[in-house]
Amino acid sequence: MTATAAAHPLRLVGDVRRPRQVDHLPDPSDLTVDDELPGGCYPLHLASHLTEHLRWMRRCGRGRRTIRARRRAVVRLAEALGTDPAGATAEQLDAWQDQLPTLRQVRWATAMIRPYYAWLHAKGLRADNPATLLPMPPAPTRLPRPMTEPDLARAIVEAPARLLPWLLLGGWVGLRAGEIAGLDREHFSVDPNGQVWASVIGKGDKQRNVPVPGWLWADLLPYLPPGGPCFRRVRGPGKGRWRVTGQHVSQYCNTYLRNIGLPDTFHALRHRLATIVLEETGDLRLVQDLLGHAQLSTTALYTRVRPTRMARAIAALPPPPTRPNRGLRAVDAGELIPMAQSS
């Protein structure tokens, strides 16, 4: 083991695995009567067969956040309808969609409840599927908006101690807010060459290992506890015991960025990292693995942020051959006439 590796009490990369939860209580949204399904603050009795459906999702390997989101969406549908959603008609679902305030909410909520009705129909619990014809608005394609280097430098210099580790992990490791919230001290490891790695649990509970720069690890280490969750809540009933949530990380950082006059969000740090790595390597697959994108098409959006390779390709095109006595001359606007003109 190298001197760098010996300097940090970490396990070798070959032994990286998700550790057991250490010395903290579960998130309140995970507390449930039977303590087995995520999202216990959303009562299961409001929707028939919802418990069975969520257990089926778990057997299918769906992540906890996905199960929690499905539970929340179906329960909110029940509250909006004022009746058991398992017996809802197509007309009731149309009216429910109409009262959602934005197309984004229509898209998210519809995507969440459609599988519930498809499952009810496939199980023979309903003779029809009332959600079959519910429209699904397409998601707008927006380019990532990376934070500029001057803005990032200002955000780092002025950051309070509570937020600094989050900004560093977002800007130089590319972690999502939820991934930062889920970090345990045991998730960090070092390989025989002294490279520090973070074992991250991303969307869909998919694990990936991402490199941590040596200078960042040195700056981060004083903020980390000896074990257990890296970042715990500092106020409220779970103070010092419950870990922060992804919502805590993003909201606190977004509020801080607004307060210092920056237009960026926390996610812009991730966009910045992806854009720079893609420019340096030109390797979409590498950036996809680094960010934990399920679809390469999501990563491909970063090629449109700063298409420097495209600009270089255009600049490399040979100019038209020059010909004697065929120089270009300025044309007055009066000489520009329609190609087809009646006589």
148-170 pLDDT per residue, tens:
899 999 999 999 999 999 999 99
Does residue 174 carry a pLDDT above 80?
yes
Does residue 249 carry a pLDDT above 90?
yes
pTM (predicted TM-score): 0.62
Where b means 16+ CB within 10 Å and e means fewer, 300-312 reads eebbebeeeeeee
Catalytic residue among 53, 70, 71, 176: 176
Of residues 309 and 332, the one with the higher pLDDT is 309
Please enumerate in sequence order all residues whose Cβ is within 8 A of that of 118, keeping only pairs 6 or more positions apart, or say none: 129, 131
**302 annotated active-site:** yes
pLDDT digits (tens, 9 = 90+) for 289-316: 888 887 777 777 776 666 666 666 667 7
Catalytic residue among 70, 267, 271, 272: 267
Catalytic residue among 203, 208, 232, 248: 203
Catalytic residue among 53, 71, 187, 293: 293
Pair 5, 194: CB distance under 8 Å: yes
**176 annotated active-site:** yes
> For the ranges 41-45, 142-146, 209-213, which has the lowest average pLDDT?
142-146
**187 annotated active-site:** no
d(CA 188, CA 9): 10
Q: What is the mean pLDDT of residues 311-323?
A: 68
Q: List, as own/partner pairs, every contact residues 27-36 make where C-beta atoms lie below 8 angstroms and the sequence separation is at least 24, other chains included.
A: 27/242, 27/243, 27/245, 28/238, 28/242, 29/68, 30/64, 30/68
Instruction: State the pairing for strand pair 207-212/11-12.
Output: unpaired
**24 annotated active-site:** no
Catalytic residue among 68, 71, 233, 270: 270
Pair 183, 198: CB distance under 8 Å: yes
- Residue 26: per-residue pLDDT: 37
pLDDT digits (tens, 9 = 90+) for 94-148: 999 999 999 999 999 999 999 999 999 999 999 999 999 999 998 877 777 888 8
Q: At what angle do helices 90-99 and 103-122 cross, to 10 degrees?
A: 160
The 207-212 sheet, strands edge to edge: 11-12, 188-190, 196-201, 207-212
Angstrom CA distances, 280 to 142, 305, 313, stand at: 23, 14, 16
